[in-house]
């Protein structure tokens, strides 16, 4: 298939793009390379790979990039509550308006696969699993923007929406601010972390399993279309304290201290059911333990020492 990925040089796209190419697809990435990343250089030798440098809000550019494509995956977004709060105009125009523009420009037969965040569940009901039918109660601009975009996509039809758990794992365009990635880095380098709201639970998923779910959606679109699916590990509905305990099984010297020093802007506290997705024949391949072991190796290579002498 001919596939367009907006934001394809980001954390997820830098894993998904090579997978799609390896599977025989033609992939075009539209990205503004905001972070100066070079994560797709290995793809450039592949004749089925194309890249467009530009902004997903540019109507002419987006229209030309979409022409002739079978599948569109709009990954381009300002991701996370802090980044959206820092650029509220960008959060609206990229996370919502650009998605609505894409829907206006697409032809009826073009398929859309969209990543939402399951932080849209906000604060879940105690003791109840969040399913795809649970109410969405986003508490941040980030969550609200992604939920609004999902609503527009589902109303337009011929689409699948994936509500992603907190993603972890190594990517060529690495993000060290995601919770598991951050805690493992601190465990390896500082050997300690101070946590707040330590009993708040959330769900987790490996970045490669996120890439695989998009491939699964493409391969099974006819049976999965017009549906929303939670994407996470059913055995990884963990609190921050439980996550630290898990990391400590790999790095025994890791110390986690609790203190009332802050709060999660998303106030994420929920447990999630991923049964609906599993019933389509999809199954994750990477456990939380796999991810922690991978991150330890990755952070042995990668050091965030840009402003340090050592």
**pLDDT tens per residue, range 85-126:** 999 999 999 999 999 999 999 999 999 999 999 988 988 888
Q: Scan for tokens 């599948």, then name that residue.
A: 71
Q: How does DSSP classify residue 263?
A: -
Among candidates 25, 221, 193, 252, which has minimal Cα distance to 110? 221
What mean pLDDT comes out for the span 235-261? 94
For residue 310, pLDDT beyond 60: no
Q: Are 245 and 175 in contact (CB under 8 A)?
A: no
Instruction: Locate 194 and state its tokens.
Output: 């101070």
Q: Are 217 and 257 in contact (CB under 8 A)?
A: no
For residue 179, pLDDT beyond 90: yes
Q: Scan for tokens 């467009």, then name that residue.
A: 52
pTM, 2 dp: 0.95
pLDDT digits (tens, 9 = 90+) for 200-235: 899 999 999 999 999 999 999 999 999 999 999 999
The secondary element (H helix, E strand) that includes residue 92 is: helix 88-92
CATH no. for 2-168+204-233+273-285: 3.40.50.720
For residue 71, pLDDT beyond 70: yes
pLDDT digits (tens, 9 = 90+) for 37-66: 999 999 999 999 999 999 999 999 999 999
Radius of gyration of the chain (CA): 19
Q: How does DSSP classify residue 80?
A: S
Among candidates 293, 274, 292, 294, which has minimal Cα distance to 284? 274
Among candidates 197, 180, 298, which has minimal Cα distance to 247? 180
Q: Are 255 and 156 in contact (CB under 8 A)?
A: no
Instruction: Locate 158 and state its tokens.
Output: 């011929």
The secondary element (H helix, E strand) that includes residue 246 is: helix 240-248
Q: Where are the domains of the chain?
A: 2-168+204-233+273-285
Q: Are 52 and 46 in contact (CB under 8 A)?
A: no
What is the predicted pLDDT for the residue at 265?
67
Among candidates 274, 254, 286, 106, which has minimal Cα distance to 182? 254
Report residue 269's pLDDT band, with 50, 70 and 90 as the boundaries: confident
């Amino acid at each position: 298939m001919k596939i367009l990925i907006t934001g394809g040089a980001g954390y997820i796209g830098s894993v998904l793009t090579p997978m799609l190419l390896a599977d025989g697809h033609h992939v075009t990435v539209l990205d503004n390379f905001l972070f100066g990343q070079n994560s797709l250089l290995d793809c450039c030798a592949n004749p089925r790979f194309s890249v467009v440098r530009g902004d997903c809000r540019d109507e002419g550019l987006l229209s030309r990039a979409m022409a002739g494509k079978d599948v569109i995956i709009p990954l381009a977004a300002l991701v996370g509550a802090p980044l959206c709060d820092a650029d509220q105009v960008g959060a609206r125009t990229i996370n919502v308006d650009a998605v609505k523009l894409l829907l206006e420009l697409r032809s009826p037969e073009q398929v859309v696969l969209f990543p939402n965040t399951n932080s849209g569940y906000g604060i879940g009901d105690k003791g109840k699993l969040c399913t795809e039918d649970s109410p969405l109660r986003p508490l941040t601009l980030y969550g609200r923007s992604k939920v609004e975009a999902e609503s527009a996509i589902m109303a337009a039809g011929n689409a699948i929406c994936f509500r992603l758990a907190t993603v972890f794992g190594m990517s060529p365009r690495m993000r060290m601010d995601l919770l598991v990635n951050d805690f493992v880095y601190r465990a390896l380098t500082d050997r300690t972390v101070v946590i707040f709201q330590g009993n708040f639970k959330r769900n987790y998923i490996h970045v490669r399993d996120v890439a695989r779910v998009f491939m699964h959606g493409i391969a099974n679109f006819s049976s999965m279309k017009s549906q929303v699916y939670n994407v996470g590990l059913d055995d990884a509905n963990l609190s921050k304290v439980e996550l630290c305990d898990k990391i400590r099984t790999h790095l025994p010297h890791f110390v986690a201290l609790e203190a009332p020093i802050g709060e999660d802007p998303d106030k994420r506290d929920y447990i999630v059911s991923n049964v609906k997705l599993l019933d389509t024949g999809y199954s994750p391949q990477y456990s939380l333990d796999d991810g922690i072991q991978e991150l330890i190796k990755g952070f042995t290579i990668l050091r965030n020492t840009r402003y340090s002498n050592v």
